[in-house]
Structure 1
């Protein structure tokens, strides 16, 4: 099973990973994990003053801050894991990669906002569910 782990470095990501580790039987024996994080883009008016190499280095460093602990956790639990990152809106990028990468499942930690809070603030999970064609497992 190809599983996309949407990670953002938050406490919710750590809870999601801990839950998966504690419930190893949940997703079956044949799992291929890919950790994926999305870095918000630098505003266009700011990028016009920066060299492309500086911008790319910034995005890589931001992604690595999130992905390094996830990869470490995966190694400690004996999981094989790829790691990827993208720049953009998290919900759009997650849904897009899940479809294009032919993933079987997206797993995300959720902040557990109410429906009203989601309507006002928006929600990455809500956007992934609305745009995606891949099942989503939300871990609160």
Structure 2
């Protein structure tokens, strides 16, 4: 199975990873895993002020900060993982990457807000569920 793992370095990502590694009957080493780190774009003026090269370096550095510990953790559990870093709206990028990459499953952490909380604040997980054609497993 081809599984997409969106990560952001939060406690919810850690819960998702704990679930993933404690359920080897579902998520064994026979699957293909891809980490996805999405960085919010810099404001246009800031990007213009620092230049494209520095902005790209910033995005890469921030993505590495998020994915490096996850790679180490999953490597300790015998899981080989690919990494993708992208810039944009997290929910949109996750849904588009899942579809374009023909993933079988997206596994991601969620804050677990109520329906009212999602209505008022919005949620990456809610927007992924609404826009993703790939099955999504939310871990809270």
Q: Structure 2-normalised TM-score?
A: 0.97
Alignment length (residue pairs)? 140
Q: Which residue is 2:47 aligned to? A: 47
TM-superposition CA deviations, 1:58-99 (whole Å, max 9, x none): 000010000001100111000010011110110000000000
SS of alignment partner, residue 113 of structure 2: coil
2: CA distance between counterparts of 1:29 and 1:61? 28
CA contact (8 A) 2:7 2:13 kept: yes
SS of alignment partner, residue 84 of structure 2: strand
Structure 2 portions without partners, runs of 5+ = none
Q: Which residue is 1:91 aligned to? A: 91
Structure 1 portions without partners, runs of 5+ = none
Map 1:42-121; keep pairs closer than 5 Å: 42-121=42-121
Q: Which residue is 2:37 aligned to? A: 37
Q: Structure 1-normalised TM-score?
A: 0.97
* Runs of 4+ that moved beyond 2 A: 27-30
2: CA distance between counterparts of 1:124 and 1:19? 19
2: CA distance between counterparts of 1:75 and 1:30? 14
CA contact (8 A) 2:21 2:27 kept: no
CA RMSD of aligned residues (A): 1.0
CA contact (8 A) 2:35 2:84 kept: yes
